[in-house]
Amino acid sequence: MYDDIDSWCQGQCMNANRRKVRTYQHALATYDAESSRWHAPLVLPEPPATPRLAYPIYGEPVYCSACVYGIKAQLSQLDVLACVYLRECDGMRGASSEPRVSGSAEPPSPSPALDELDALDGWFRSWRADYLKVDSFARQGLLVDSLTYGCAWLTARAERILGRAEVAQLFGDEVIEWHNKLSGVAKTEPRRVPKTLRCPQCHLATLSQLEGEDRIECRNSSCGENRGGPKVMTLDEYEGHVADALLAVQAVRRAS
C-alpha cells in the first residue's frame, strides 16, 4: 500500500497525505506488535482504520508546478528578508558596515547577523557555481549588492534547478530553510500608536497603544509613583475617558 509515495510531490501540497500515511504506518506497527502478544482471554485489539487521502499529486520530477512556484516565490523574497533581518536581529545593528569576506584571515564580524548574511551570500554563490559547473565564485563588491545579485540570479533559474531530479529536493529544502530562518527574525514588531488623550493620572500626553492589544498604557515612568505604577486601562475605559472629555468640551462651548 502507498507504493507510489516516493513519486508524490515532495512539497507542501502532499504534507497532509504523508503525515496521515506515517501515522497509519505507526499505528499498524503498534497493532501488529500487540496482536503478536495476544492470547485469550485478552481482547484482540482493533486494527487501525485506513486513512482517507486526497488524490495524490505527483512530482515533475520532484515538485509539482504549484510547489515549484511557491519555492521560487520564497527564494525571491530572501533579498528583502535579509535587509529586515539585519535591522531587527540581536542588537548588533550598525556595529559594522563591512562584514568579513568568506575565507579571509580577518577576524569575524562583531555582528552575528552579518555573519549569517555572509553565509547566505555564500549559499547563493555556491548554487550559482553548481549551476554553471565551476568550482566557486568569489564575492565582488559590497555584501548587500552581492545578496541582491545572487538572489535575482538564482530566482531567474529556479525552475530549471527544481526540474533537476538529482538536486531539486536539496535546493528546495535549503530555500525553505533560509526563508524560515530569516522570516522568523524579520517579522516586524507591532507599532506603538500614541493616543491623543492625556493620562488621567499624571496628566501628560504619554498614553499609547501597541497595535493589536486591548490595552492603553502611560509611558511616563514617573506616572503613579505612589499608586502602584503607570496608568493602564482597557480600550473601552480609554474610550470612556474620551467621551467624558468631549462632553466637557461641549459643556464649555455651550457656557461660552
Of 18-27, 138-147, 196-205, 227-236, the range with the lowest mean pLDDT is 227-236
Candidate ranges 3-12, 38-47, 142-151, 189-198; pick with highest mean pLDDT: 142-151
The chain-wide mean pLDDT, for the chain, equals 82
pLDDT of residue 253 exceeding 90: no
Task: Give the N- to C-terminal CA distance of the chain in Å, as an integer.
Answer: 87
Question: Following DSSP, what letter does each residue of 156-218 receive, concatenated?
Answer: HHHHHHHT-TTTHHHHHHHHHHHHHHHHHH-PPPPPEEE-SSPPTTT-SS-EEEETT-S-EEE
| Residue 106: pLDDT over 60 | no
Widest CA span of the chain, in angstroms? 97
Window from 113-122, 165-174, 184-193 with minimum mean pLDDT = 184-193
User: Exposed/middle/buried for 100, CB within 10 Å: 0-12, 13-18, 19+?
Assistant: middle
Q: What is the mean pLDDT of residues 213-227?
A: 80
Percentage of the residues of the chain whose pLDDT score is greater than 70: 85
DSSP code at position 233: E
* Three-class DSSP category at 31: helix
- Which triple of cell numbers denotes residue 14? 502532499
Overall average pLDDT of the 16-40 stretch: 88
More confident: 224 or 168:
168
If you search the block for the grid coordinates 492603553, which residue do you land on? 216
Which 8-state DSSP code applies to residue 11?
S
CB neighbours of 107 closer than 8 A, spacing ≥ 6?
100
Q: pLDDT tens, 140-186?
A: 889 989 999 999 999 999 999 999 999 999 999 999 999 999 987 75
Spatial distance between the Cα atoms of 160 and 130, rounded to a whole number of angstroms:
13
pLDDT at 73: 93
For 61-75, what is the mean pLDDT?
A: 93
The pTM assigned to this predicted structure is 0.62
Q: Is the predicted pLDDT of residue 91 greater than 50, yes or no?
A: no
